[in-house]
Chains A and B, each alone.
Chain A
Amino acid sequence: MNVTEIFETMSYGPAPEQSDYVQDWLKSHDKGFKLFIGGKWVTAKSSDRFIDSHNPATGEYLAKFTSAGEDDVDRAVKAAAKAFPEWSGLPGHARAKYLYALARLIQKTSRFISVLETLDNGKPIRESRDIDIPLVARHFYYHAGWAQLMDQELPDQEALGVVGQVIPWNFPLLMMAWKIAPAIAAGNCVVLKPAEYTSLTALYFAELCAEAGLPPGVVNIVTGKGDTGAHIVNHPDIAKIAFTGSTGVGRYIREATAGSGKKLTLELGGKSPYIVFEDADIDSAVEGLVDAIWFNQGQVCCAGSRLLVEEGIADRLIEKVKIRLNKFRVGDPLDKTVDMGAIVDPIQLERITTLVNKGADEGAEVWQPDVDYPEKGCFYLPTLITNVSPSNIVVREEIFGPVLTVMTFRTLKEAAELANNTRFGLASSVWSENINRALEIASMIKAGVVWVNSTNQFDAACGFGGYRESGFGREGGKEGMYEYLKTTNEWLHEGGASHASGGNSNETEDQIDLRQGQVAARADARKAKHARPAIEGQNKMSDSSLHKHIDRTAKNYVGGKQARPDGGNSRLVLTHDGNVAGRVGDGNRKDIRNAVEAAFKNACWSTATAHNRAQVIYYIAENLSYREKEVVEQLVSLTGVTKKAAKAEFDMSVSRLFSYAAWADKYDGLVHTPPVQNVALAVHEPNGIMGIVCPDVMPLLSFISLLAPAIAMGNRAVVIPSERYPLLATDFYQILETSDVPAGVVNIVTGDRELLTEVLAKHDQLDAIWYHGSSEGSRMVERESAANLKRTWVNDGRARDWISGHGEGRRFLREATQVKNIWLPYGD
């Protein structure tokens, strides 16, 4: 076109980003990329398979890289393990310097990386250049800071060891940064597998690691497909797996790592709501949609894919969306004037097309703008789908493409219900100029992120992660650091003799007595389980004080009432010396069902004020203290500890209730200030409904130590008390009843602990489960939790010193809450 023609049409011309120097780099690796292990480029041991990488916009071959086998993964894990002692032993400042160097190198090579990312992934160069790569650098800067401050700010924490990380293709280098930066800042060494479609920037990053002088083995990059990932997930010497990807693979990883003791964070799928109220800035909300669902071709886990719009403005909004989309530019991602580039791979394109066609078959109206796009390459037009309800497949399933569904709502309450009518819970956007309305619905949405009047905002300081089947764990923020750390000497056996059995000169004899009691109790618990039928029938009359009273019938405690167990049976409870102490209900799956239902119905506890919850817990402590004599006697009689030890356990139980009454209104969230005109409120929200499975050791104290933090943070609990000493929990009913604990907040079911636990772990209404029991039980809990990806916290058969500082505090509060970041941009 000549100047005059352009003057008349005012068209945009081509504006291609230069890419020849990146192509030169790829050509210099024309023999194929090797694996980056132990600071060196090594050839695969077990296979010489290569994977080809293509430019999805053109189909052109870019490079080939190695598909790592089991031996290679093992070699990488060994290299990481070898590097770990020295790396984790470095002063924080030393690690900070390396992270700083990486941040600087990323900035210095940012254009190169952006072009490489766009070639490999198909995302517009604008996004690589203006969003992805600056965030990558930001992540390394931010975590250089945590490395620097770790000694001061995370003093009781230590690195885990070798961390396995598996990342997706939608933000290749950004997801790598989200994984590697916190891991190595904390002192871990990593084995990372980039996605098979998009491994090139990770391989380039490996070169930067070498350039930065990062000690060999701290970062290892092994490329490959799903099987390579599986080798990482299943490697026995890996302490933690961090995964971002689909919910399906997340579930597989949860099952595969069950019982392995591996720590796990999962950032999975989403079907995030994008809610527009009638008092929103509608033009801005329309533009926001562009950044929500048409960002990165919609291949974003937190994409606002479900537009929920107040009915009165729906037509106007949809009209505006259509006008906007008719100005969309879809095409060569290297062109600087393109809004949307290529879908990452033909397979993904096929998936999008299939899902949209299915939605149309189910009655959806599918609209696409009348704009040009390349005939060759993986392109899919931005798509608007109307005439759908929550039952349509395009509303239910994560499409992972540029496809927006529209539904209307009438009231704020209905908007929240529709927003939460999904198995996912990753992110959400809320558009309203009324801050009262925006913050109210922000508190109602079940999602890890709420963007008020904005969307897809990210910052290293603000933890990112989901509720429900969107996974668990957070990336970014201090909460993200905890995912790569463990509490030093948290479990008894880890601390060695000095910790577990009285090396501490301040420890009293009673405390040692208590510990011996625990050990005895653990051993007895197993014996008693098997011995029960034999003892039954031949019990002798007990002269214990308990039996001088009128017979008591301990039922289950469900919905604030004592409820007879569904099966109509009871279980015998023995004293430590084999006498009959009483009977408790023999709960079954229906009792668990009823208990969860009761907890579900009492949602108000979770929204009650912290002060209110604190008062209730103080009151529990007060009412418990009145019954000291009886409870101490019960402890002695049941567990066989000395009276002094029983008294110590009792006193600590009362104290612990006080602790959590105190914490109830003090475990505050944070206000982040990301580098935009914005505040992000990091709110600690309760998990929701929690299953709590208590150990036999210190049956009163452990029961309270687990229950109190859960309810203090606003959870509703279904508790399975110690199987051997359930009477301590059933005696507690009356205390709960007299302490103004609302019905349904605490529900207790006694019976066969492992059987009941399995029902809990399989219950999809449950949001989290804490299990303190055997290794096998821990494995079962983790495995069965995979179906709805409830959060788990298990002891892997290890014992906790309940009476020490490890028996309470922030560790428990972190597990009892999840962080929701509410982004509030401001300006007038």
Chain B
Amino acid sequence: MPGILGLIPWPLARHSFEDYEKIVSEIKPILINSLPRVEGCEFHPGWIDEIKINKSAVDRRIASLGGRRTVKKQWQAAWLLKAISCIDLTTLSGDDTEGRVRRLCAKARSPVRPDILQALGFEHMRLTTGAVCVYHEMVETAVSALKGTGIPVAAVSTGFPSGLAPLETRLAEIRASVAAGAKEIDIVISRRYVLCGNWKALYDEVKAYRVACGEAHMKSILATGQLGSITKIAKASMVCMMAGADFIKTSTGMEGVNATLPVSLVMIRMIREFYQKTGQKVGYKPAGGIGTAKLALQFLMLVKEELGDEWLAPHLFRFGASSLLGDIERQLEHFVTGRYSAANRHSMG
């Protein structure tokens, strides 16, 4: 069964096949980014035209959700661990260096202090973040720092964050990042196509990106804060999925407004709609502005309610976040000790 090892995450891959059955009973795999790529489908203008979104109703759903669902005690701890497993630990800054990226990767491998995991009875689970997300220039560094961990490296691409580099440049950037070892490519769409309602152009663009990605999984960033209306966000989501996006993602993190719950509700309803139409499961990645454990839980609850438990795993859900992990670590320590924690008690990423 030679194919199996490819599906088994770190640290199982280091072991011989004979050890497999023994080890799998002790160590639970979390990170299985093994779904086949989303195929997408032909361009269906009718699927776009029929989309109707009522923003005030969406807002009310979100306003009441916080009161309808909550998790407490060990449920909260478990959900927060789930949130960590879904984080694309990210650094996207002009002053990124190799040293900074290596430090981030170390955090991705070991996101929570071992004694806390032990107290939670979770030490056997080999918790990591979902991915590390960097600019192209940092891909090689990250790949090497994460070697053997199974943690994929995601590269933002296509002239991130504006997406206004020449098309050939953008496509070349994708190919370069894939060649450098990125398993996931976070592309940015041309907002102008959405703003002008040029859905076919958007479809063609994303489809071209998808082809360039090869076997790498593609996350399609809508930059929702720049699209002007919630209905356009929904329509752009649908177009990206038709064009074969593996994930749809809210934001670059650079827009004035990044991931919000109402926008997320609309995007995941589109994912559900696309799944009902094509049977294909597209992932969701809210990014930017999710800095607290409490907010992260609300996102998870929203996904659970609207999409179902299957989406509560790193192959179908990610947080694009840099500071979220720190807050979750403090909350976990509080759950374990009953004492409010401090930032300096947890290692920097």
Contact = CB atoms under 8 A, between A and B. Distances in A.
Interface string A115-150: 000000000001001100000000000000000000
Contact of B82 (A5, A7, A126, A336): A7
Given A10-B79, A288-B57, A454-B60, A4 B28 contact: yes
B339 interface: no
Interface in B283-309: 300, 304-305, 309
A281 B54 contact: yes
Given A15-B70, A15-B72, A4 B121 contact: yes
Interface string B258-283: 00000000000100000000000000
A90 interface: no
B325 interface: no
A2 B28 CA distance: 15
B61 interface: yes
Given A3-B122, A283-B269, A13 B74 contact: yes
A12 interface: yes
Interface stretch (A484-492, A619-627, A716-724, A820-828): A820-828
Nearest to A339: B68
Interface string B63-107: 010011111111101110110000000000000000000000000
Contacts of B64: 126, 130, 291
Contact of B57 (A3, A4, A5, A284): A284
Contact of B52 (A9, A291, A337, A433): A433
22 contacts: A1-B74, A1-B75, A2-B74, A3-B78, A3-B122, A4-B121, A5-B78, A7-B78, A10-B78, A10-B304, A10-B309, A13-B73, A15-B70, A126-B64, A126-B67, A279-B52, A280-B52, A284-B58, A678-B56, A825-B54, A826-B56, A827-B59
A453 interface: yes
Contacts, number: 110
Interface string A764-799: 000000000000000000000000000000000000
B56 A287 contact: no
A6 interface: yes
Nearest to A284: B57
A1 B54 CA distance: 39
Contact of B125 (A4, A126, A337): A4
B312 interface: yes
A454 B58 CA distance: 10
B176 interface: no
A454 B71 contact: no
B309 A9 contact: yes
Contacts of B59: 677, 827
Contacts of A12: 69-71, 75
B35 to A, nearest CB: 18
Q: Which 7 A-B pairs have the closest CB atoms?
A: A13-B75, A284-B57, A6-B78, A825-B56, A827-B55, A281-B54, A126-B67
B28 A433 contact: no
A453 B56 contact: yes
Interface of A: 1-15, 126, 129-130, 279-285, 287-288, 291, 327, 336-337, 339, 431, 433, 453-454, 676-678, 825-828
Contacts of A280: 52, 54
A545 B55 CA distance: 73
A17 to B, nearest CB: 10
A828 B60 CA distance: 13
Contacts of B74: 1-3, 6, 13
Interface centre among A13, A281, A828 (most CB of B within 10 A): A281
Contacts of A287: 57, 60-61
Contacts of A327: 305
Interface in B37-53: 52-53
Given A130-B64, A130-B67, A281 B79 contact: no
Given A284-B57, A284-B61, A2 B71 contact: no
A786 B58 CA distance: 42
Contact of B67 (A5, A129, A285): A129
Interface in B98-130: 120-122, 124-125
Given A4-B28, A337-B70, A433 B79 contact: no
Interface residues of B, number: 40
Given A13-B74, A287-B61, A433 B69 contact: no
Contacts of A13: 71-75
B229 interface: yes
A337 B225 CA distance: 31
B190 interface: no
Given A6-B79, A10-B309, 9 more contacts: A1-B74, A2-B74, A7-B82, A12-B69, A15-B72, A126-B67, A284-B57, A284-B58, A287-B60
Contacts of B300: 10
A339 B57 CA distance: 18
B226 interface: no
Nearest to A5: B78
B230 interface: yes
A68 B57 CA distance: 45
A433 B54 CA distance: 7
A9 B120 CA distance: 16
Nearest to A338: B68
B261 to A, nearest CB: 14
Contacts of B125: 4, 7
A7 B81 contact: yes
Nearest to B310: A10
Contacts of A339: 68
Contacts of B77: 3
Nearest to A279: B52
Contacts of A4: 28, 78, 121-122, 124-125
Contacts of B70: 12, 15, 336-337
Interface string B120-155: 111011000000000000000000000000000000
B68 A3 contact: no
Interface string B156-197: 000000000000000000000000000000000000000000
Contacts of A678: 56
Contacts of B122: 3-4, 7
A334 to B, nearest CB: 13
B341 interface: no
Nearest to B308: A327
A677 B72 contact: no
A828 B72 contact: no
Contacts of A454: 56-57, 60
Contacts of A282: 52
A615 B8 CA distance: 84
B74 to A, nearest CB: 5
A538 B258 CA distance: 96
Contacts of A825: 54, 56-57, 60
A9 B82 CA distance: 11
A290 to B, nearest CB: 9
Interface centre among A3, A5, A283 (most CB of B within 10 A): A3
A130 B60 CA distance: 12
A183 to B, nearest CB: 31
A11 B72 CA distance: 11
B323 interface: no
Nearest to B232: A828
B67 to A, nearest CB: 4
A828 B121 CA distance: 46
A10 B68 CA distance: 16
Contacts of B82: 7, 10
B162 to A, nearest CB: 25
A282 B78 CA distance: 33
Contacts of B121: 2-4
B135 to A, nearest CB: 32
Contacts of A5: 78
Nearest to B73: A13
Nearest to B127: A7
A321 to B, nearest CB: 14
B64 to A, nearest CB: 7
A14 B74 CA distance: 10
